[in-house]
Amino acid sequence: MSVEPESALGEIVRDPTYAGRVVKIVSRVAAARSPPQALEVLHAAKVEMGVDQAVFVSYIRDEDSHESYRFLLAADPQWCFEYQARAWYGSDPWLVYASQNLETISASMIPVVTAQQREIRALAEKYEMVSVCIAPASSAGTNARIGMLALGSARRGFFEDDAAFGLFKLLAHGLAMELHLWWNRYERDELINTLRISDEDLSLLRLQLHGAGTKEACGELGASSASIDSRWQRLNRKLGSPHRHASARLAAKFGLI
């Protein structure tokens, strides 16, 4: 009776210490204090998980300007340079999948139907992303930030072993979510510091988002209506919004509240 040879991924995940080693690295994400530190953890995870390339992308859903896209690149930087030069964000099948789904899957299951999508895929393969695991991560509530972790191997069919992929995708999902939560916190703190948004400003935005008017805000914050209106004028200028309703929606979309 012939025995099917074990897959490359199967050889990696059968090590009884594999999951524990990966989880230990994933647990380090929360302690990162800057993107370079988060990138160090991603590099370590890439090595421990047995893949050749790793990319984490954080972006705002339906953001046409592409200014919200942030990358942690534990991969060949030339790939990212060529990708960004073409501004392929909106048509990238991996990003589209991550915007609409939660399940971690092999990229071979994601349809590639247009000529541009085939170009995107060919560029990824050029930089050792031949077989790829895509792990989406999404936010709760009104926060529109999306995360996508792409883990790639230069070996074709690397992620096609269903038995071995079961454990791997659980670990990939955990890493994607930790990176996503970390990036949400980092971006929130950066916006608050850059725009000089106070705790009182955040309280005012939350109250507005939940439908509270000036009278309710006065009662909650212990301020006069004139003070509340003045604060809204300053806050709208900081956020570049025409009125308080838009400011509250924008703050929620970018995860400030």
Q: pLDDT tens across 172-194, in order?
A: 999 999 999 999 999 889 888 88
Among residues 203, 199, 225, the alpha carbon closest in space to that of 214 is found at 225
Does the pLDDT at position 6 exceed 80?
A: no
- Angle (CA) 33-38-42 rounded to 5° is 160
Structural domains present in the chain: 8-186 (3.30.450.80), 196-253 (1.10.10.10)
Average pLDDT over residues 83-112: 93
Helix axes 18-26, 35-49, angle to 10 degrees: 170
pLDDT at 61 over 80: no
pLDDT over 90 percentage in the chain: 56
* Contact present, 122 and 186 (Cβ < 8 Å): no
**Which whole-number Å values give the CA distances from 162 to 54, 165, 168, in the listed order?**
21, 5, 10
Burial class (CB in 10 A: 0-12, 13-18, 19+), 160: middle
Collect all residues with Cβ–Cβ distance below 8 Å to 222 and sequence separation of at least 6. none
The pTM (predicted TM-score) of the whole model is: 0.84
Beta-bridge partner residues of 152: 53, 132
Nearest-CA neighbor of 189 among 14, 34, 29, 42? 34
Partner residues linked to 58 by β-bridges:
70, 147
Tokens in use for 206?
Answer: 């939350």
* Residue 74 pLDDT exceeds 90: yes
Q: Which of the given ranges, 166-175, 189-198, 212-221, has the highest pLDDT on average? A: 166-175
Confidence (pLDDT) at 2: 37
How confident is the model at residue 153, as a pLDDT?
Answer: 96
Handedness of CA 93, 94, 97, 99 (dihedral sign): negative
pLDDT tens column, 227-240: 888 888 888 898 88
Q: How far apart are CA 129 and CA 49, in angstroms?
A: 15
Number of Cα atoms under 13 Å in the Cβ half of residue 210: 9
Greater pLDDT, 143 or 205: 205
Which helix (H) or strand (E) is 133 found in, with range?
Answer: strand 131-138
pLDDT at residue 119 is higher than 70: yes
| DSSP 8-state assignment for residue 105 | E
pLDDT tens column, 78-96: 998 999 899 888 899 999 9
The answer on pLDDT for 3 being more than 60 is no
Give residue 143's pLDDT band: very low, low, confident or very high (50, 70, 90).
confident
Render 210-247 in DSSP notation, one character per residue. Answer: TT--HHHHHHHHT--HHHHHHHHHHHHHHHT-SSHHHH
